[in-house]
Structure 1
């Protein structure tokens, strides 16, 4: 399987959680023969064909990565749980009018292709040549983007980090913060339901301890994760990728800091359940030097009275004026719709990598010092920019401050996301009709 598909499929897997409960019956589901339905989820269904296609897809991805596979029934159960939670989230997104516009979708396609050294056309040909449906492939991308947007709106935007929290954190952990240090982790999550009884908590811990013994005994951690984990990356062998300190959940930090590569932690308790963490590797460290760019721009927004074509044409005219000797700053003050920078002649100051939207960052990186770019579009409208300078900057101190804030945010975000996912799963109507799983009714 092409590396592109492996990267994408690894990124499009969603959390699998236990069956929840809901008191209400769903509205009438689409008329599909009963024996072709794997599960009813609120007002929709997951068909056996969809389940089989996704299971085959995941199995091929795991085999390509060399991950040992669990029994077919176990893998199928994990995939079905993942699809159920995916469908619940897409339903909530639809009810809240959350959608991905064509530009955002096309930008995501272009970035994915670029990351794999392809054009979008070449990516299309590669996917089709591997025997996969391009329509299904792009639907997964759009669904993934939709769920990301829903999670950001439902969870992330409600999280606040105060300056006092940052100061308190630095007072306790400043010596532990290494801006360049990253950990490669995998995890297995054994979930605990909300308002769990002591017996349920004890049972979850017992299962986590049993899995740890199996892993210590030589069984593949990735295989155990695929078969048993309820984490968001279960179907990727539990692999969380490379994470900085800012991305480690609170309950991982102290444990990971004293682990050696290859170690597997004792069960770690969190609001979501018990975690087993395997440290796959450590890299980076100490001083952080970044390339900063001094840039200014002119923005023309698209409005009911300013079409996209008109905005681009206006910027082309302004660019020609600049080439003939007109002042960029003067034109920015008179024309830019970015009111924050227009007063300063469009000057954005020294910009750090990743500080601006990807489309702007790409053009900025490709524009030589002293040159004005061609007009280009971002979600904010049409721009031209001029690069005024570049420099290497030791950002270690700023990175320590930023990482402290990110650590606090990520910890709050991850804990809030796990609780939110469990809540929406418990509130949804789910009935599993897959015969080999046994019919289960959440209502």
Structure 2
């Protein structure tokens, strides 16, 4: 069976290579052979193309120059970028199997939001990207891929992460006793991975590499450069930057070692289930006063199916909006009669909540509404919605903690580790073959 599988995969590789280069062999008698593109990696039944790698290298190089950031060697950067594109391909294929789609309307709405965040119209946003050398159609499709990838990650992690009521109670209790709630830490992270089910020899080898990295850092080597070169963590291409976090928002293993330490300190190797972590305390600051907004809303959800198409679901909700705006229908009654999901019995009422806990498309829709406003139909990972904002209030998150915020902190803390473990499992189950360029 394994021989047959390998034969099939090799056949696939040859077929893919042949299809990409076929043009060359049919024109050799008329012109010099020119390679249009090349398969850089086979990933299950998909491929990573050389052009994709070159495009991402160009994008990262341009961004590094803007930020005056030193990049690792071309070879090391290529390895990290190829690895990222392999991960993207695996997640994209999983999204296809799960039936995840982003419609053109949803994509255009996302791009419009991105433009609005930059104080631009969609047209001026498009022109600015083109002026920077971007291919707008490629950029647009990359945004679609990122949206699908985000939905796949969220759906997969939601099934893997459980937070008990006791965990929330414990966190709230701890935070009431803490004296360092007003401090935030910026962390850098390098992960030296070992394989699944590692032998003692694998563990020893990974630890030796991690200790060598710490030695280089302590002798003055650049953390960002080493992270981009050597880290197996999800933030490798960002130089291992984990951003600003309070002591409660970072993984427990990290919070225990950085509390009370000086800026610039390097810690590790720290053994985790994925390998050995090296952490740098990049900076410390007083926590910014954070005000969080809670919203009260209600919605009607229509889930497309084989019987009910995407277009019909959207049209059905648009009809409801017109009835509501004309005063011909009651929102709660429409929700009870037509909405899918558990909120239907409550007339679609979602109660008070931090909008950040909702699907991104849903929270963005709420952000654009005035009180009592009804948003036009939009697509989220759950289906098609209309939503009405019925209330908005502001809370001081630095002094007031509630169970919703505690739940979000615990979720974020677990999500980083669980996301890496999930992706590692996907890679272990995948067929991956990197096709090296000919060495001259």
Question: TM-score, normalised to structure 1's length?
Answer: 0.77
Q: Which moved more, 1:247-256 or 1:406-415?
A: 406-415
- After superposition, residues 291-370 of structure 1 pair within 5 angstroms as 291-292=293-294, 295=296, 299=300, 304=308, 308-309=314-315, 311-321=317-327, 331-336=330-335, 337=338, 349-354=351-356
Mapped contact 1:22–1:426 kept (Cα < 8 A): no
Give the deviation of 1:155 after TM superposition.
2.9
Taking the aligned partners of 1:400 and 1:332, their CA distance within structure 2 comes to 29
Aligned partner of 2:27 in structure 1 is: none
**Structure 1 residues 321, 143: CA separation in 2 closer, same or farther (over 3 Å shift)?**
closer
Taking the aligned partners of 1:153 and 1:391, their CA distance within structure 2 comes to 29
Taking the aligned partners of 2:361 and 2:437, their CA distance within structure 1 comes to 48
Give the deviation of 1:422 after TM superposition.
1.8
Give the deviation of 1:191 after TM superposition.
0.6
- After superposition, residues 17-416 of structure 1 pair within 5 angstroms as 24-25=5-6, 26=9, 28-29=12-13, 30=16, 31=18, 32-33=20-21, 36-170=38-172, 174-176=176-178, 181-245=183-247, 247-285=249-287, 289-292=291-294, 295=296, 299=300, 304=308, 308-309=314-315, 311-321=317-327, 331-336=330-335, 337=338, 349-354=351-356, 372-373=372-373, 375-379=375-379, 381=384, 383=386, 385=388, 387=390, 391-394=393-396, 399=401, 401-416=403-418
Taking the aligned partners of 1:367 and 1:434, their CA distance within structure 2 comes to 52
Q: Secondary structure at the match of 2:407?
A: helix
Instruction: Tell which has more relative contact order, 1 or 2 (C-alpha 8 A, sep 6+).
Output: 1
Give the deviation of 1:40 after TM superposition.
2.3
Deviations 1:303-332 (A, max 9, x none): 85976456435434433439xxxxxxx833
Taking the aligned partners of 2:209 and 2:334, their CA distance within structure 1 comes to 64
Give the deviation of 1:122 after TM superposition.
1.9
Q: Secondary structure at the match of 1:315?
A: helix
Any stretches of 5+ residues in structure 1 without a counterpart? 1-20, 323-329, 439-443
Mapped contact 1:208–1:267 kept (Cα < 8 A): yes
Q: Which moved more, 1:128-137 or 1:178-187?
A: 178-187
Deviations 1:124-178 (A, max 9, x none): 2122111121222122222222222222233332321111233345556653486
Q: Secondary structure at the match of 2:330?
A: helix
Q: Secondary structure at the match of 1:321?
A: coil
Mapped contact 1:183–1:242 kept (Cα < 8 A): yes
Give the deviation of 1:223 after TM superposition.
0.9
Aligned partner of 2:25 in structure 1 is: none
Give the deviation of 1:272 after TM superposition.
1.1
**Structure 1 residues 291, 307: CA separation in 2 closer, same or farther (over 3 Å shift)?**
closer
Question: TM-score, normalised to structure 2's length?
Answer: 0.78
Q: Provide the aligned C-alpha RMSD in A.
A: 3.7
**Structure 1 residues 128, 162: CA separation in 2 closer, same or farther (over 3 Å shift)?**
same
**Structure 1 residues 197, 387: CA separation in 2 closer, same or farther (over 3 Å shift)?**
closer
Q: Paired residues, what number?
A: 407
Mapped contact 1:177–1:245 kept (Cα < 8 A): no
Taking the aligned partners of 1:437 and 1:409, their CA distance within structure 2 comes to 46
Deviations 1:206-262 (A, max 9, x none): 222222222232222111111111111111111222234454223211122233333
